[in-house]
Amino acid sequence: MKQRVFTGFIFTLIILAFVVPGFFSSYFVVALMLLVLGFSLFEIRKAFLAKDLKLSDAGIIIGSGTAILPLALHYFVESPYVIFALFAIVLLMVALTVTILVPVIKEDSQAVVQGVSSAAVSIYLAFPIASALVMVLSVHKGYFFFVLGLFSPWVSDVFAYFVGVLFGKHKIVPHISPKKTWEGCIGGAVFSALLVSLYSVFILLPTLDTKLGFIPYVIASAATGLLLSVFSQLGDWFASALKRWVGIKDFGDILPGHGGVLDRFDSAFFTLPIALIFSLILT
C-alpha cells in the first residue's frame, strides 16, 4: 500500500511537471502525449504477445503515428511548405493502408486477426492522442479543456471508489471489474458532473467568448461531466477486458503498484475525445 501511494505521488509530480508549464508552452503537453503514446505502444504490443498474437510492428507504428498529424498541420498550414506536409500525410495514410491490408489479404486466419488487431490498436492509441494535440494546438483556450479531459477520469475514479466502498452492493460487470458497483458508478458520475460544472463556471467561463447563455452553459457542463465519467469507466472496463483476454494483470510494471503507463491512461484515452467535443461546442 505504501509503495502504491509513493508511486502515485511521484507519478502525479511527473505529470504536473509537463502539464503545469504546458499553460505557457504547448510543447510540454505535446511532449507528454508523445511519451504516453510511445510507452502505450510498447506495452500493448507486449500484451498481445502474451496471447501469442504478434501485431504488425510497421502497422501499429505507422498507424499510431497518425496521432501527430495535428502537429504537422498546425506548424505547416500557413507555411509555403504545406504542400510537402500534405504529401507526407498522404504517403503515411497509404503506407498504413498497405501495411494493414497486406496481412489481411493472406489466406491464413491468423494474418487476418493480426491485420484487424493492428488497425484497432492504431485507432485506440492515435485517436485520443490526436484529440489532445488538437485541443492544445488549435482550439481557443484548449489547454483548459485538455486538463479537464486528462484529470477528470482520475477525479471520477476517486469518488466512484469511495462511494462504492461506503454504499456499493450491486456489481456491474464482475467478470471484468469485480470491484465496480452501480452505486460507485453513479456516485462518480454525480460528483464528476458537479466538479466539471464548477470548473467550467469558475475556470473556463472567464476565459471564453462563448455564445451560450449561462444556464445552457451550466447544463452543457454538467452533461459533459456525466459523459466524462461514463466514458472514463468505459475506458477502464475496455482495458480490463483486454487484459483479461490476453491473460495479464497489468499492461506493464514501470509504475510499481499501478502497473504500466497505459494502466494509468486507459480512462483518459476515452475522455480526451469527449473533452475535445466539449471544447468545440463551447468555442
Q: What is the pLDDT of residues 71-114, one digit of tens each?
A: 666 665 555 555 555 555 566 556 656 655 665 565 556 666 77
How many CA atoms within 13 Å lie on the side-chain side of 187? 18
Joined together, the cell numbers standing for residue 9 give 505521488
Q: Contact 274/148 with Cβ under 8 angstroms? A: no
169 has pLDDT over 60 = yes
As a whole number of angstroms, the longest Cα–Cα distance in the chain is 62
Q: Contact 183/170 with Cβ under 8 angstroms? A: yes
Query: Residue with C-alpha cell 456491474?
Result: 172
Calculate what percentage of the chain has a pLDDT beyond 90: 23
Residue type, 27: Y
* pLDDT value for 267: 92
271 has pLDDT over 90 = yes
Joined together, the cell numbers standing for residue 85 give 506536409
Residue closest to 41 by CA, chosen among 252, 233, 214: 252
Please give the model's pTM, rounded to 2 decimal places: 0.85
Residue closest to 37 by CA, chosen among 139, 123, 141: 123
